[in-house]
Amino acid sequence: MVITISDESPVPVYRQIVIQVLLGVIRNEIKQNSSLPTIRQLAADLSLTNTTVSKAYQILERSKIIATAGRRGTFIHENAQENASRYIQEERLGQMMDFISMHLKYGSTIDELEQSFYAAIKKIKERKAK
């Protein structure tokens, strides 16, 4: 597994690690029970602090994407694919709810937001079709 970090990304570094592991699992590029580098090793490889990598690993472990086996190391959880799909779905829903709540506070109506949502999807589909 190769993880790359972009300093220019608005996404925090620990989230970049989480996202790349999730995508690797979803795309079946990282198989269940595959071992991951230790926190120290990954931090050294990416020139990050142990704390940053640890934060990513904690999120992944809480979500049952990875499992830590003490001295034996850290591995991809046996149910990682379904847990990763669930994690992404929950994140997507949470972000959408935050977005909607913010716009409702600023006076938008549900109908306006729904129209904007479908208009945005239509534009994205049109761009993809080109």
Condensed to tens digits (0 to 9), the pLDDT of residues 23-65 reads 999 999 999 999 999 999 999 999 999 999 999 999 999 999 9
Tell me the whole-structure pTM to 2 decimals: 0.84
d(CA 39, CA 90): 26
Looking at the structure of the chain, the number of domains it has is: 2
d(CA 104, CA 22): 31
Domain that holds residue 61: 13-80
- Across the chain, where does the E strand assignment appear? 35-36, 66-68, 74-76
Q: Are residues 18 and 75 in the same domain?
A: yes
Q: Are residues 97 and 73 in the same domain?
A: no
- Across 34-120, where does the E strand assignment appear? 35-36, 66-68, 74-76
